[in-house]
Structure 1
C-alpha cells in the first residue's frame, strides 16, 4: 500500500533537554522525573496554544503550529515554567523555531522546515529560544515579543544562510556569540587583504610588498563601518596554497583582496583584484604603473579605489578624502622603516635588535617620521615587557618617542595605544590607560591591539561582560593571531574556565613556545585545578631556559606550596619573596605577596601589600587584583575600597557614532529627482566603467552623500541601482527588431554590462528568470 503524503506550511518547534544523556547515566530516577515534568508542561502548553505534538524523543520533541505567533508564545511559556524554580528542579531546555515546508506521511515527518528548526535549536543554549528570520517576520507587529539579531548562519544541507534571532523577553536567556555553535556567515562589509606577491626579480623586495599590504590594511581599517581582518591573521596565509573560499571561511569575511608588486629600477607596478569569496568571483581588478617616489599617492589611490568598489557592491559607508597621507619626503627613511617593521613583525628579541638600528637610521634621515618614532617605541615596549631590556630604561625610551610622535600627530592611534601601555605599566594609572585605549578605538575601531588591550583592562577590573564583548570583536578582526589567542585564554582563566584556558594556552604555545605570559597563566590554571606538583616542576621541564622570568618562577613555586598546605616550604619561599620585594626592582614579587597572603588567609597582610604596591606603582598588582586565586578576599569590605581606588567606579564606554542622515528631507527629494532624471535622459549606466564617484560628480553631489541617498533613502547599493537600469535596457533592446542579429551577451554589453557573470546574476535577481528563459517567454508572446 502506498504511503500517503501531505505537504503543508507550518511553524515547526524543536526542543532538547541539555545534558539529558549524561543525567540518565548518572541518575536514572532523576532523569525520568525531569522527562515527566518536561512532557507534562509541554502537553499542557501545546493544548493552550493550539500546537500539535508530532514526536517525543528521549530528551526532545518535535511539534508544529499553524501560527508562528502561537508557536513563539508557547515556547516562551514552556521556558519560563521549566526555568522558574531556579534550582535543582529547573530543566535546561533549548528551543528552535522555523516556518517552512513539511511533509506528513503515515510513518514520518520531514522537510526543510523540520531540518532548519532542528539546526537552529542545536546551536542554542539552555533557557534560550532561537527563531529563524521567517518566524521573526511574523512577529513584527507583536509588541509583547522582543528579539535580538544574532547573525546569518550556514547550516548543513541548507543552501542559503539563515537569519537567526533570539527571543529576548524577560526570563528568556540570550546566548552570547561565543556560545553559539553554528557557523556564522560574514556580513557584506568584511574584507581580508592577503599579502601581495613579490613579482620582482629580487627577493630582497619582499619587505616592500609586505609594507604595501600592511599600509592598505591600515588604510581600510580607518573606515569605521568596514570590518578589516588584521595583519597577523591575513599574513598567516602568506606563501600558502589554500583556496580563496577556504581562507574566507577561516577569516569569516565576504571579500578577499589579493595583488602583486613588481619593482624595476625607479618604477613600480601594483596589481590588485577583489574576489567575492562565496563563489570565487573576481568582480574588480586594476593595475597601476607609477614612479616609486610616488608610493604614498599610489597606496592612497589603491585604498580609495578598493573602498569605492566595496561600497558600490555592499552598501553605504563614508570614505575620507584620503586614507593614506604622505609619511615623509625622504624615500630612504620610508624604506628603512619598512625593513624595520619586517623584522619587528617576527616578534622575537633577535629581530628586535635588527629593527631598532633600522628605525634609528630612518630617524636620522627624518627625525619627524612618526611611523619610525612609534615603531621604535614598540620595539622598546616589547623588550621591556619580555625582560630583554631593563624595564624602566626601555619604557622611558618608549615614552619619549611616543610623546614626540603624538606632538606631531595627536590622532596617531599607534602612539595613543603605546601611551596607554606606558600609563598602565609605568605610571600605574589605570583610568588614563583606559581613556587612551578608548580614544585610539574611537579613531580606528579595527585597531586589534587596542581591542585586545581593552578586553584585558576590563577583565582585570572584574568587568567580565565588557571584556568578553571586546574579545569577540578582536577575534572577529584577528581570529588567527597568537596574541588574540592568548588574550582569549587569559579571559577564560579569569572567568574560572580553567580547562578551556589550558586548551587555548596549549594552542598558543604550539605557535610560540617562548610566549612568556602563556607559561605563567598555564601554571595558574594548574594551581586552580589542584595540579600542584605539575606547577612546581613546570618551569624546570617545560619553559625554555632563556625566557624564564625568575620572579614568576619563584611566585608560582611559593603559591604551589601554599595550596599544598606545606607550611615549611610555604614559609621558606614566602621569606624569599619578602627579601626580593624589598629591592627597587621587586615589583613582580610584591604582586605575588598579595596573592600569597590572600591564598593563606592572612588578609591584613594582603591589604598591606596592596598599599605597598600602590605606593611603589607596581603595575603587576593590576594583573592579580581580580585573580581567581584571591576569591576568598573579595568579600572583605577593604577589597571594594581598593577596587574603587585602583579602577574607579564608573567605566567610560566606547563612543558609538549615531546613524545620521547626510541630507535633509528636502535635499533628499531634490537629489532623488535629479538622479532619476539624469539616469533616464543621459543613460550613464551604459558606461561599463561607471563608478559611484563619477555619477556623483555628474549630478554635483558628494560621493558619501550619493552613497547614503542610494542605500538609506532608495534602499539599493550602487551596483543594484545601476544594474537595474542595465537590465531594463537589455529587455528593451531584446524587443528591438533591429537588434535581432546581436547575440545575448552582445546585448548585455550594449546595455552597460562588462561581465557575463554579473549580467546573469543581476538579471535573475531582477526578473527571477535567466536571460534565455526571458527571451523564450518573449518569443511566445
Structure 2
C-alpha cells in the first residue's frame, strides 16, 4: 500500500437533505444524486482536480491550485442549478461544497486527515447549492477570478481547538454584476472602510515610537529623533515587514501611551519603543520590542557607547537594532503559525510553517520545507518569498545530505530563486539564494555579484552578509570572507543561521591553517542549536589537526549519527568552501576514519 502525507487543497461535497429525497423515491433519488456527482467529477477532472472518494451522497477531491477548486465548484453549481430547474418534480439534488487547505494522508486513492475533516465541517456551513471556504483558501483566490465573498466570521468547528474563519463564495458575471439568482456578496479583501480598531493585521507590521530623550538636555532631542527615523528607514528595507510612516508615529512624541492601544490605533502587530540617555562622554540607548496584542516584551537590549563620534554611534546602534528586530519578529511569526490550525492559516502563515521546517536543518525537515514552500507557490503564484525559500531549502538539502539527484535539485533551486527575483526585484532574499546556488555550481563571480546586490538592497540583512562571506570563501578568498561573516554575526547574534555562520567561520580558519582559532569557533558551532553535518565534519577535522585523534574519532561518530551514509566521496562533491578547501577537509576526515 502506497501512503503519502502532504498539504493539499481539499474539496468536500454532499447532497443537502439526501435522506428526504430518498424517502420520496429511492430509485430516482439515487440516480439523480449519482448523475450530479458524475457531472461534478467530470468538471473536477477538467479543472485539474482528482476525485479520491465518491459515495452515494458525498464526494472528496484534491486540487493543486485554489483557483481551480473554486472555479470547478462554481461551474458545477451553475450547471446543477440549470439541471434541477429542468426537472418537473421536486427530487432535486442540491449540493453544498466546502474547500479547505490542510494536512492529508493519501493511501490507495483514499484521503484522510485534518484537511478532509476541516473541508467537511466547512461544507456543513454552506447553503444548498453554495460554497464555503477557509481563510487560507480565501487569501489565495486570485483577484482576477469573477467571484464575490461574504465573511461568515469566526466559526467554532468540531475537532478544532481554535475558531476557524469561514467565507461563502458566489460567482459574478464579467461586468461584475451578480449572475441571475446569485446572492450578492462583498469581497472584504477590497473594502475601502478602515478595519475595526480591535483587529490586528495578518501580515507582520510594526510601529516605531519616537525614542525618549532621558538626558535632561533638550539639545539631545535631535539625536533621539534621528535614531527613530533611521530605524524606521532601516526596517522599511525588510520586505517581510510593513512599517508605519514617521508622521503617524511621531504623533505620540512626548507621550507615554498604552502600547496595546497604539497597536490597535495604528493597526500593527508589533511596537518598538526606546530611550536615549547621555551622561558626559557616554551614551546609553535602550530598545524594547513589544507584542501589540498582549503587551508582552519580546526583545530588549541596552547599548552603552563612548561618544567619540556621535553620528558613528547613531549609525552603529541603529544598524544593530534594525538587524535584531527582523529575526525576532520572524521567530514570533513562526511560533504563531505553529499554534494555528492549518485551515485557519493564510499564505503567510503557511510560509511560516515552511520556515519552521526549514530551520530545523534535519533531512526530514528540509524535505518537508520543500513540499510546504511548493504548496504555497501553487496556491499563491505571486508570493515571492516562498519561491526564494523553496530555492533555499533545495540547495541546503543538497549541501548537507548529498542526495543522488543533486543536479536536479540545484537546477530547480536556481529556477525558483530567479522566479522570486522576477516577482519582487527589491527583496534581497531571492538574490542571496540565487548567489548561493551559483556558488555551489562553481560560478563564483556571479555568486559574489548576487550577494553584493542583496546587500545593496538591505545593508542590515545578516543573511546577505553571511552568504557573501560564504561565496568569497568558495572562490578561494578566505581572508576576504572573514569580515563579512563577522559582520553578519554582529548584526544578528541570536540568528537562526548562527550555527551556519559559526561553522563557516571555523572552516575559513581551518582553510587558513589557523587551527587553534578554528577550535574555538568549531566548538561554539557544535554546541549551538541544530548543528549540521558540516559542523561535525569541521569539528572532527580541527581535532585531528590539533593531534587529538581520540576525540576526533568520537566526533566522527557524531557526524555519522547525524548524517548516516556520509562519505569522503559525497563531501568531495560538496562545494562548501570551494574545491581546494574541501579537498583538505576530506583528506583530514579520511585520516579520522570517514569511509571513502
Q: TM-score under structure 1 normalisation?
A: 0.31
Q: TM-score under structure 2 normalisation?
A: 0.40
Q: When you count helix as a share of all residues, which structure comes out higher? A: 1
